[in-house]
Structure formats: structure tokens, C-alpha cells
Amino acid sequence: MPDQRNSEAVGPGDGLPPGQAPVVAPEARMPTIRIVHWGMVLWAIALLVVLLVPALHQGDRAWWVWVPVAGFSLGAIGHIYLARGRGNAADA
């Protein structure tokens, strides 16, 4: 049986039981650029591991070297984007 309620758009907080407030997410306290830096460090470690373990970059796995290179490169682009004052409204 189709729903007989009003078909208007439901906004935040609508449909909650009486007396129950909507859940508010806590504010993030870590700057986004710090997360990007940690990601770049982890990609650099992954690149070192792939380069130091011959079985991880020979034969059919030759393309594995480019995965951490791409991750590190995208992190560098993210760093440049955030360092210019964009992407993190609280720090911009």
C-alpha cells in the first residue's frame, strides 16, 4: 500500500520522535593538510618497500611501482591545493 503521508521534501530533523534532537557531528580539530602529509609519508614508505623487495616490482608486478608514485603525486597536488589556502574553510 502506498504511503499516505505528505510527499514534501523531508529536511534534517524531520521525522524524529518528539523530544529527540538531531545528532550534530563534532568539529574536526586536525588540519586537513596534516592528514595529507601523513598520507604522503605512508606512500613514500610503500614506494621504498616496493623498490627494496625485488619480488614486488619484477615480472607481472612491474606496474606496482607506479601505484605509490601516483599516490604520492596526488598527495603533493593536495598539499599544494591546501597550502594555497583552499580546501579547508577553517584554515583558509
- Which pLDDT score is estimated for 12? 57
Q: Which of 82, 73, 28 lies closest to 46 in space, CA to CA?
A: 73
Q: Which of 39, 27, 26 lies closest to 82 in space, CA to CA?
A: 39
Per-residue pLDDT tens over the stretch 4-54? 555 455 555 567 778 788 888 888 787 888 999 999 999 999 999 999 999
Does residue 1 lie within any of the structural domains? no
Does residue 21 lie within any of the structural domains? no
CA distances from 81 to 40, 45, 78, 84 (A): 14, 23, 5, 5
CA distances from 3 to 7, 11, 13, 15, 69 (A): 9, 18, 20, 14, 53
Does residue 69 lie within any of the structural domains? yes
Q: How many domains does the chain have?
A: 1
- Which pLDDT score is estimated for 88? 54
More confident: 71 or 82 = 71
Does residue 65 lie within any of the structural domains? yes
Does residue 60 lie within any of the structural domains? yes
Q: What is the pTM of this model?
A: 0.64
Distance of alpha carbon 78 from the chain centroid: 11
Q: Which domain holds residue 55?
A: 32-83
Does residue 19 lie within any of the structural domains? no
- Which pLDDT score is estimated for 63? 95
Residue 92 predicted with pLDDT over 50: no
Does residue 7 lie within any of the structural domains? no
